[in-house]
Chains A and B, each alone.
Chain A
Amino acid sequence: MKIIVPFFTVLALILIAYLGAGSDNLKTLFGVVIPYVALVVFILGFINRIFYWARSPVPFRIPTTCGQQKSMPWIKQDKIDNPSSLLGVMGRMALEVLLFRSLFRNTKAELGADGSIAYGSAKWLWLGGIVFHYSFLVVILRHYRFFVDPVPSFVVLLENFDGFFQIMLPTFYLTSIGLLAGATYLLLRRFTTQIKYISQPADYFPLFLILSIAITGIWMRYIDRQDIVSIKAVIQGLVSFSPNHEAMLAVGATFYIHIFLVCILAMYFPFSKLMHFGGIFLSPTRNLASNNREIRHINPWNPDIKIRTYEEYEEEFRDKMKQASLPLEKE
């Protein structure tokens, strides 16, 4: 169920967009209204979630230290994995966000028949994750060419790198295959016993969605070639808040499916686990320096509590303490 339901949900979404695109009357809805709504939901939803997180304080400094602490000068500190300064934290966060540092540590433990445990390297998830995320990023940046005219030089540069191998016409982009392969890998591993057990519909849904987006995109570019000029005109219309109805009638159904799924993804994003994109920056085990003993961290709600004072203690045990010749405050 947890796989079938999200699968058919995505299929249904595709069908809705296909039917909608078939009717000229609904093109305004799918080509104008929904994209605007999606953009607003995405931006407000994203900001709202960040504020929701940021509203709660960080009462304690609890970094997970993954290397040698700063103690004495002759002991070499691991300034990245156990940072004690802002610079170190920035380094740690950069490695985490840009290179998935923690995931790179991944190992696989296997239990032997005699109760022994063997550890193997397990970098596939890291690799799959890197390929998926970076391909997705480049693909999104490449789409920038539809939004501005003339096409900015960084997009052209990116396209030149991405199409380095020039294996077919139109130029085949590495990231097209990277996104597809990465997402497929991430999906397939969710069918393996252990990962399937922990997976939820909310894990399958975005993967089906992203795969569908990638496939429709690839379809338009390489197989059922679309009229790029019209597509750009449609998007330019949206960007300039003056929808181009003529161009909207000229583009095919695949485009509407593609853009509808992108809108669904954008609207789904702020309410889902996809917010890990924002959350990683706020994770207190990673974004704080481990300098707790050097610089006091303030807890805004630090409660005043009644402790058992020495005076109470001495009061209770005075005679026994006296007999044991322990020093006393009051004789």
Chain B
Amino acid sequence: MAKREELIKNLDETPSLLKGNSPAKSWMDEPVIFDQGSYCYSSKAKSLEYLNFPNPREWTPEEEDWKLPENWQEIIHNAFKERLDKYRSLKIFMDVCVRCGACADKCHFFLGTGDPKNMPVVRAELLRSIYRNDFTMVGKLLKGYAGARKLTVNVIKEWFKYFFQCSECRRCSVYCPYGIDTAEITMMGRELLNELGLSTNWIMDPASNCNRTGNHLGLEPHTYKGTLESLCEDVEDITGVTLNPTFNRKGAEILFITPSGDAFADPGIYTMMAYMMLFEHIGLDYTISTYASEGGNFGLFNSSYLMKKLNAKMYHEAERLGVKWILGGECGHMWRVVHQYMDTMNGPTGGKMELPKNPLTGTVFQNAASTKMVHISEFTADLIKHNKLKLDPSRNNHIIPTFHDSCNPARAMGMLDEPRYVIKNVCNSFYDMPENTIREQTYCCGGGSGLNTNEIMDLRMLGGLPRANAVKYVHEKHGVNTLVCVCAIDRATLPPLMDYWVPKVEVSGLTELVANALVMEGESDREEDLREREFEELYEERGIPYNKGDE
């Protein structure tokens, strides 16, 4: 990975369109270059074979020959036509752009890299130029003058590079006067690439794992259970409280599903511990499934087909276990799927599922009447509002938090105030980042939609720059030391981003803060946080007076 100073120097010194320098060539004439760090590794033959995807083979973008099927142009043409017939959004977004440019500087990848093909408008033109050539009269007649171009291998390579340099965050679509959604365009572009067997390993490998074992790391049922049990042991060591989560239990009232990253990866595991502490605290009748143990949906990054296939497990399992409703953990893309696709794809729900009702407060979640799935932050906010949690916010006094709205809960759902309400009730301080960088205007962590892979670390640091920059602002102004989020990908991508741009800012799941503040029955005198760090040292390190009496 490049040093921070180098990256900044490079940003400052390289001429770019962003800074008003005019590129020598039109984007259509720019060659597509694949060098290490600029692209995601290609998918392996075995994942494609396992999922029955076309053209499984070993290949790499750096090689000249991508081993495309012989009739690849015909495949693309037909696949494009099929999607135009299936998606009104695609037709509209192909036709109505006026190239006003309002989207250009809204993309974190354009801000970070200055690469003109990262402007949402040009990213879409990569596809539009082929649409005009193949499907419009004007394009066929006027060719280049109508913005059309022929489909060549280079176009395919360009698609591969830039549709995997879009994190489908939808920030540009907030500003577009016609609501053109680049995520939709990228999703279509990736579907087309799929038809030729072009995908990335970081998407296809986890997707095949999720299908087989239920979670993206491919951990088998006994390992998954064992991992959560060992987290429970950690909780017992720290708090003295014994947790007894159940697995695959029939007859539970609620099925809890969270991204599997929470079960395995630091700092997600603390959020996982926190969920189980919260449920223990309120005596929730819930169970966790090893079969549907992945909330995150790697299919979303690939195709609507794979999205549906992976998502179907949730209802399948909920119906098998006979639960009343599903409670969903903190995860960005998972909630894009749950809120905007799940019910349409895999509903209506059967089994014993019914209108979600909080068993403690009696609150009926009418907004989830059909999907029957409630977000943990909605659930927690409701518990706090009804005074069902015994909280001591002073236990979080060493934490000065800000909140990172994850792209999908913000722009594909609008869950903005629930998490803020929770934070304000479990912490004594809270500072929002500047308004252009939060809520519906929030920035991507730099690794959404399957881009959180390590071979593009520099790119991720650049894409995450606008987010990091806003954190830096509140870090310097208010001493913010914790970036709170409700997304497992955030918990994986933001820590390296913070280490790189804003050292000393830590990343935490929202529920982790709740669990910190939770005064649990039978708990011992807590001297460590969930990360097993002595409070006394933690406070001292952060220069915050430590009063044990506060707790």
Binding site for B on A (CB under 8 A): 2, 5, 49, 52-62, 64-72, 74-76, 78, 81-82, 84, 96, 100, 102-103, 105-109, 111, 113-117, 119, 125, 129, 193-203, 271-273, 275-276, 279-280, 282-286, 290-299, 301-303, 305-310, 313-314, 316-317, 320-321, 323-324, 326-327
Which are the 8 A-B pairs with shortest beta-carbon distances?
A69-B414, A279-B96, A324-B222, A65-B414, A285-B179, A293-B371, A286-B179, A82-B414
Contact between B174 and A193 (Cβ–Cβ < 8 Å)?
A: no
Give 1 or 0 for each of B357-382: 1 = CB within 8 Å of chain A CB.
00000010111111101000010011
Is residue B119 contacting chain A, with contact meaning CB distance below 8 A?
Answer: yes
Per DSSP, are chain B's interface residues mostly helix, strand or loop, or mixed? helix
Is residue B282 contacting chain A, with contact meaning CB distance below 8 A?
Answer: no
How far is it, in angstroms, between the C-alpha of A68 and the C-alpha of B417 when the chains are bound? Answer: 7
Chain B, 462-479, CB within 8 A of any chain A CB: 465-466, 469, 472
Closest to A57 in B: B88
Known contacts A117-B111, A200-B99: A305-B181 contact under CB 8 Å: no
How far is it, in angstroms, between the C-alpha of A279 and the C-alpha of B92 when the chains are bound? Answer: 6
How far is it, in angstroms, between the C-alpha of A295 and the C-alpha of B173 when the chains are bound? Answer: 24
Which A residues are CB-close (under 8 A) to B86? Answer: 56-57, 59, 301
How far is it, in angstroms, between the C-alpha of A67 and the C-alpha of B214 when the chains are bound? Answer: 34
Per DSSP, are chain A's interface residues mostly helix, strand or loop, or mixed? loop
Which A residues are CB-close (under 8 A) to B99? Answer: 195, 198-200, 203, 273
Which B residues are CB-close (under 8 A) to A301? Answer: 86
B-side interface residues, number (CB < 8 Å): 122
Which A residues are CB-close (under 8 A) to B238? Answer: none
Which A residues are CB-close (under 8 A) to B354? Answer: none
Binds A, one of B152-160, B243-251, B528-536: B243-251
Contact between B22 and A273 (Cβ–Cβ < 8 Å)?
A: no
How far is it, in angstroms, between the C-alpha of A198 and the C-alpha of B18 when the chains are bound? Answer: 12
Is residue B308 contacting chain A, with contact meaning CB distance below 8 A?
Answer: yes
How far is it, in angstroms, between the C-alpha of A273 and the C-alpha of B128 when the chains are bound? Answer: 12
Which A residues are CB-close (under 8 A) to B179? Answer: 64, 96, 102, 280, 283-286
Known contacts A57-B88, A115-B11, A194-B17: A67-B416 contact under CB 8 Å: yes
Partner of A296, one of B181, B225, B247, B348: B348
Contact between B414 and A303 (Cβ–Cβ < 8 Å)?
A: no
Binding site for A on B (CB under 8 A): 7-8, 11-12, 17-23, 26-27, 84-92, 95-102, 104-106, 111, 116, 119, 121-122, 125, 136-138, 145-147, 170, 173-181, 184, 211-214, 220-222, 225-226, 247-250, 290-291, 304-305, 308-309, 312-313, 316-317, 320, 338-341, 343-345, 347-348, 363, 365-371, 373, 378, 381-382, 385, 410-418, 421, 434, 436, 439-441, 465-466, 469, 472, 501
Known contacts A320-B220, A327-B248: A307-B340 contact under CB 8 Å: no
Contact between B147 and A75 (Cβ–Cβ < 8 Å)?
A: no
Contact between B382 and A72 (Cβ–Cβ < 8 Å)?
A: yes
Q: How many A-B residue pairs have CB under 8 A?
A: 316
Which B residues are CB-close (under 8 A) to A279? Answer: 92, 95-96, 178
Contact between A193 and B22 (Cβ–Cβ < 8 Å)?
A: yes
A-B contact pairs, 24 of them (CB 8 A): A59-B304, A60-B341, A62-B181, A64-B181, A69-B414, A72-B418, A78-B414, A111-B19, A115-B501, A125-B102, A197-B26, A198-B101, A198-B122, A201-B145, A275-B96, A276-B177, A284-B92, A295-B370, A299-B345, A301-B86, A303-B308, A313-B291, A314-B291, A324-B222
How far is it, in angstroms, between the C-alpha of A72 and the C-alpha of B356 when the chains are bound? Answer: 13
Contact between B412 and A294 (Cβ–Cβ < 8 Å)?
A: no
Contact between A65 and B440 (Cβ–Cβ < 8 Å)?
A: yes
Contact between B88 and A56 (Cβ–Cβ < 8 Å)?
A: yes
How far is it, in angstroms, between the C-alpha of A276 and the C-alpha of B176 when the chains are bound? Answer: 12
- Tell me how far the C-beta of A223 lies from the nearest C-beta in chain B, rounded to whole angstroms: 31
